[in-house]
Structure formats: structure tokens, C-alpha cells
């Protein structure tokens, strides 16, 4: 997937194996990083730990070092590529370390060099031996990796990188954006919302009960998590891909059944409510129930999965940013007077 995002071509099997081997070679976490992660208070949100760990690795940035030595601007892409490869190689181990330290008594599982990037990540989490979980991780990491550049995490990475900040600074910042509840954190919010529903109205709620719960959410001035999208105007294909996985592997899972019933009733309600431009589910409406099924029940961790995956897309774009010599970003600002005049002209047009 990274090869595809970077080059636009589907890699051969041999090229996939070569990248897997390259990442395996670069994957070891330095001792200073482990010491640093162990010093973070264990009740710190996993996304904060993740962002901090990426930032701490910045001291090893090859881009920053070469820039200090005075590299030519036509060469920027090359050390950016090296930094990106080093980061991507380490992200699964960093994420697994945070998971095991936070939730599994700081007992860690060594990497399995025979496994691919996604399969090894699933292995190091140590939640189950079911091979379907490795497949889920592969699916998950593919589905969440890319998006056009306008979403918060991709745009943040591009924006910070436009100041010639290196890949560590740029990705850490992108992860802080991903940690917002309207963006990546929505996957944890969905599960929290569904759990609260099941606690309140029972493990097997009817469609009528779910409808009432959705209306209660909206009437309390809250969003229905996992629904709506800034760009899409239909059911997110990534939701469908996860639904197909669930229908194959866990059709009788009680949370999956609730997710399916919400899917049946929520779009109509959101249309009646009349605010959301897109009443259909997005990627986050489904992922939590799959993770929970295989034993990842600590939903505060869910956005870290999203982050490991999203890094593939935003970092591929960052290499291209430097390759294309894109300039520093500088959005135009307007004055309060300009805003007042703009609103007045809009109102005059309506009248
Ligand atoms: C994704 C999201 C942030 C897009 O925001 P957006 O581009 O501003 O969406 P819209 O243009 O459709 O928003 C118009 C209005 O509908 C509301 N709306 C959008 N989605 C809604 C939802 N799922 N539940 C309730 N209200 C919603 C917005 O809050 C906004 O209300 P406002 O005018 O009072 O501010 C938004 O749909 C949302 O908050 N969804 C829930 C969180 C979520 O699932 N995020 C993950 C996205 S992948």
C-alpha cells in the first residue's frame, strides 16, 4: 500500500517482500525511546503517548541533520524518504509498546520477523491467536491509510512540513489533529456511545429503542458519532468493507448487530433532523466493533490504530511535497471588518 501511494504503481510480490524486509531492518526502538515512553504517566491518553513518542524520535532526523549541514533544496526529498522509512518501520512497535505498557502490565511481546508489517503489529499486541485478527489488522491498516489532502491529519502533516519541519515534527502534529473527536477519535466515541446505549436500554435493543436513543443524542446537542462526512455524500466504502468482514467472521456478535441496526435507522433520522449534509455512516462507525470482538476492548486505544495506518498516506505525501518543492503554506487572513461586510452582502443578497 505504501509503495502504491508513493509511486502510483502496484508492487510485485518481490517488491512487497523487499519493503517488508527494509522495515524489519529499521524497526528496532532505541533504548532512549523506551526509557522516555516508560517515563510517561501511564494514565496519559494513548494518542498523547503516541504523538510524544514520534516527537521524541525527532533527534534522529536525517532531514534535520542534512539541512543543518546545508543540503541543496533539490535533495530535500531524499533524507525525507529516509526519515519516513525509519518512522513507518517503528510505528507498529511503538503502538504495541504503548498498548502493552498501558493495559497489559508492561509485559511486551517480541516482534516476529517472519510476519508482514500489519501481521506483526497484530502479533505484538498479543490479544488473540486467531489468524483472522491479523487479517483484520491488514484490512484496517489499508482502509485508514489515505484520504485526499483536505482532512485534518493529512493537511496538518502537509502544513507543518511546509515550514521544512522534518517528518517527525509533521507526523506528531498530524496525530494531534487525528486525536480530535470530530476526526480520528470518532472511532472510540462510536464504541463509547454504543456501550452506553447497551448499558441503558439492554444488550439487544430494538430499532425503536435505538431511534429514540439517536434522537436523545441529537436533542442533547451532540453529534451521532460515526455518521456524516465533510466530503462523502454516501455510505463510506470503508464502512462497507468492514461490514463485509464482520458478516463473514462475526455475524452473531452482539455489538455488530447493534451497529447494523444503527445503520438501518440513523440515516433517516439524520435526514429528518435536517442538519448533516451527509446522513450516511463513515469509516469510524464500524471499526470499534471489530476490534472489540477480537479482544481490544480498551477503546481509548482505537485512534492509535488509525494513526499507524494514516501515517502511510500522509508521509507518502510529505515525500512528494519535498520532491515537488512545494512552498510554505500561508492561508490568507481577513479582518473583522471584511467579515462584517461579507455577512451584510450575503444578507442583502437574500433579501
Ligand atoms: C464528520 C463531520 C465532522 C463533518 O462535519 P461538517 O463537514 O461540518 O458536516 P456538515 O456540513 O454536514 O455539518 C452541518 C451541520 O450538521 C451537523 N452534523 C453533521 N454530522 C452530524 C452528526 N453525525 N450528528 C449530528 N449532527 C451532525 C454539524 O454538526 C453541523 O451542525 P451546525 O450547523 O450546528 O454546526 C460531522 O459529520 C460530524 O461531526 N460527524 C460525527 C463525528 C464523526 O463521525 N467524525 C468522523 C469523521 S470521518
pLDDT in tens, 230-271: 999 999 999 999 999 999 999 999 999 999 999 999 999 999
- pLDDT reported for residue 105: 96
Active site residue 286: no
Listed in sequence order, the residues at least 6 apart from 122 whose beta carbon sits closer than 8 Å to its beta carbon are: 133, 134, 136, 137
Query: Which residue of the set 83, 146, 236, 284 is catalytic?
Result: 284
Evaluate: CB of 230 within 6 angstroms of ligand 1: yes
310-330: average pLDDT: 97
Evaluate: CB of 240 within 6 angstroms of ligand 1: no
- pLDDT reported for residue 167: 98
pLDDT in tens, 129-175: 999 999 999 999 999 997 788 899 999 999 999 999 999 999 999 99
Evaluate: CB of 288 within 6 angstroms of ligand 1: no
Nearest CA to ligand 1 atom 31: 275
- Please check whether residue 144 is in contact with residue 309, taking contact to mean a CB–CB distance below 8 angstroms: yes
Active site residue 130: no
204-214: average pLDDT: 96
Helix axes 46-56, 167-178, angle to 10 degrees: 170
C-alpha grid cell, residue 351: 433579501
311-332: average pLDDT: 96
Give residue 197's pLDDT band: very low, low, confident or very high (50, 70, 90): very high
d(CA 176, CA 153): 8
- pLDDT reported for residue 146: 79
Percent over 70 (pLDDT), the chain: 100
300-306: average pLDDT: 95
C-alpha grid cell, residue 17: 517482500
339 has a pLDDT exceeding 90: yes
Active site residue 155: no
Listed in sequence order, the residues at least 6 apart from 222 whose beta carbon sits closer than 8 Å to its beta carbon are: none
d(CA 237, CA 143): 9
User: 3-class SS at 313?
Assistant: helix
C-alpha Rg value of the chain to the nearest Å: 22
184 has a pLDDT exceeding 90: no
pLDDT in tens, 271-297: 999 999 999 999 999 999 999 999 999
* Own/partner long-range contacts of 211-220 (Cβ < 8 Å, ≥24 apart): 211/265, 211/269, 214/262, 214/265, 214/266, 214/269, 215/269, 217/193, 218/269, 218/273
Evaluate: CB of 194 within 6 angstroms of ligand 1: no
Q: What is the mean pLDDT of the chain?
A: 96
336 has a pLDDT exceeding 90: yes
Task: Determine the distance separating the centroid of ligand 1 and the alpha carbon of 164, expressed in angstroms.
Answer: 33
pLDDT in tens, 20-70: 999 999 999 999 999 999 999 999 999 999 999 999 999 999 999 999 999
Mutate to test the pocket of ligand 1, among 153, 193, 221, 228 (most ligand atoms within 8 A of CB): 228
pLDDT in tens, 97-125: 999 999 999 999 999 999 999 999 999 99
Fold of 186-293: Cytochrome p450-Terp; domain 2 (1.10.230)
Domain boundaries, the chain: 2-181+300-324, 186-293
Evaluate: CB of 189 within 6 angstroms of ligand 1: no
- pLDDT reported for residue 170: 98
2-181+300-324: which CATH number, 3.90.330.10, 3.40.220.10, 1.10.580.10, 2.160.10.10? 1.10.580.10
User: pTM of the entire structure?
Assistant: 0.93
Mutate to test the pocket of ligand 1, among 154, 192, 223, 233 (most ligand atoms within 8 A of CB): 223
181 has a pLDDT exceeding 80: yes
Amino acid at each position: 500500500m505504501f509503495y502504491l501511494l508513493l509511486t502510483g504503481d502496484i508492487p510485485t510480490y518481490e517488491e512487497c517482500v523487499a519493503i517488508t524486509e527494509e522495515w524489519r531492518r529499521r524497526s528496532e526502538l532505541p533504548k532512549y525511546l523506551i526509557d522516555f515512553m516508560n517515563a510517561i504517566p501511564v494514565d496519559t491518553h494513548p494518542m498523547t503517548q503516541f504523538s510524544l513518542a514520534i516527537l521524541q524520535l525527532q533527534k534522529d532526523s536525517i532531514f534535520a541533520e542534512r539541512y543543518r549541514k546545508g543540503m541543496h533544496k533539490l535533495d530535500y526529498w531524499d533524507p525525507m524518504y529516509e526519515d519516513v522509512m525509519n518512522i513507518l518501520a517503528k510505528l507498529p512497535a511503538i503502538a504495541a509498546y504503548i498498548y502493552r505498557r498501558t493495559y497489559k502490565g508492561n509485559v511486551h511481546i517480541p516482534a516476529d520477523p517472519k510476519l508482514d508489517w500489519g501481521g506483526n503489529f497484530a502479533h505484538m499486541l498479543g490479544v488473540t491467536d486467531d489468524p483472522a485478527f491479523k487479517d483484520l489488522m491488514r484490512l484496517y491498516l489499508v482502509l485508514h491509510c489515505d484520504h485526499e489532502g483536505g482532512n485534518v491529519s493529512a493537511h496538518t502533516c502537509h502544513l507543518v512540513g511546509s515550514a521544512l519541519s522534518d517528518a517527525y515534527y509533521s507526523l506528531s502534529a498530524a496525530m494531534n489533529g487525528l486525536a480530535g473527536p470530530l476526526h480520528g477519535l470518532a472511532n472510540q466515541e462510536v464504541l463509547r456511545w454504543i456501550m452506553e446505549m447497551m448499558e441503558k436500554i439492554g444488550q439487544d435493543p430494538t430499532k425503536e429503542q435505538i431511534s429514540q436513543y439517536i434522537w436523545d443524542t441529537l436533542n442533547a446537542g451532540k453529534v451521532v458519532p460515526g455518521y456524516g462526512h465533510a466530503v462523502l455524500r454516501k455510505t463510506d466504502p470503508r464502512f462497507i468493507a468492514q461490514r463485509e468482514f464482520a458478516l463473514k467472521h462475526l455475524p452473531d456478535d452482539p455489538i455488530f448487530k447493534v451497529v447494523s441496526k444503527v445503520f438501518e435507522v440513523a440515516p433517516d433520522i439524520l435526514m429528518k433532523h435536517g442538519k448533516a449534509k451527509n446522513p450516511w455512516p463513515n469509516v469510524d462507525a464500524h471499526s470499534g466493533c471489530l476490534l472489540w470482538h477480537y479482544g481490544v476492548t480498551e477503546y481509548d486505544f482505537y485512534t492509535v490504530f488509525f494513526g499507524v495506518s494514516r501515517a502511510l498516506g500522509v508521509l507518502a505525501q510529505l515525500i512528494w511535497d519535498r520532491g515537488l518543492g512545494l512552498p510554505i503554506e500561508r492561508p490568507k487572513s481577513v479582518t473583522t471588518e471584511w467579515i462584517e461586510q461579507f455577512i451584510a452582502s450575503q444578507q442583502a443578497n437574500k433579501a
